[in-house]
Structure formats: C-alpha cells, structure tokens
Amino acid sequence: MENINYTPKDILQKEFRQKMRGYDPNDVDSFLDNIIKDYEAFNKQLQELSDENERLKVQVDELNKQIAVSGTQPLPTAGVAPSRATTASQPMSSATNMDILKRLSNLERRVFGSQLDNNANDSHRL
C-alpha cells in the first residue's frame, strides 16, 4: 500500500484554512466523511482479498502435494511465492469422485494407450 497518500484518519483530521470566499466548511466536511467511508470500505475489501489470496495459495500448495503423491504434473504457480499461512484455513477434503474418475481415465490411457483409441473407433463404426 505504498501508493496511498492518505489514511481515513489523515482525511478526518485534515484542517483547511478559511478564506473570505472559500468553500462551505459543512460541504467539505460532508464530502470528506464520504471519502473516509470509501477508504474504509476499500481497506476492508483489500484485506478480504488478501486473506482469500493467502487461503487460495495454501489450497494450491495442498493440491500440488496431492498431485505429487499421485505422480502427475504439479500445477504451475506462476510467480506465486511460497505460502506462509498455516492450517488456519479450511481443511482440505478428500478427492471427489470426479477427481478419482479423471485420474483413473488418465491411468487407463497411459497403461492401455492406443488399445483404448482403437476400441473407441471400432465402437463408433457399429
């Protein structure tokens, strides 16, 4: 957050000099109050997104560990730094039926290879 010039507290405490034909102080205060609310909402959203990002990094790490155990290629983490989060996120559930079916299908392709392709072509000809 190095590009942020003002915090909500900075905006709240800002005092403007008054001049003869300046702006109405009540209008300025009202406008600044709305800006403070926006800043607080942005900060909250930023924190939520950071937390979600950390949770997803942990999830990717766990999935890569599962993939490594199964012997398939790990997911690319394109520039993702190693996660510092602990198991405070939701626990990983076991593999779903769809995951198991996909793994089984990949295994059959590797083991039987062209035999599966030939049988599939023969069944389409009937």
Domain count, the chain: 2
Is 0.85 topped by the overall pTM?
A: no
- Residues 23, 71, single domain; the answer is yes
The structure tokens listed for 118 are 């030939």
Count the alpha carbons within 13 Å of 53 in the hemisphere toward its beta carbon: 10
- Residues 85, 110, single domain; the answer is no
- Residues 77, 99, single domain; the answer is no
Tens of pLDDT, residues 2-58: 677 888 888 888 888 777 788 888 888 888 999 999 999 999 999 999 999 999 999
Greatest alpha-carbon pair distance for the chain in Å reads 94
Residue labelled with tokens 């997803």: 56
CA proximity to 80, closest of 103, 102, 56, 98:
56
Domain that holds residue 70: 1-90
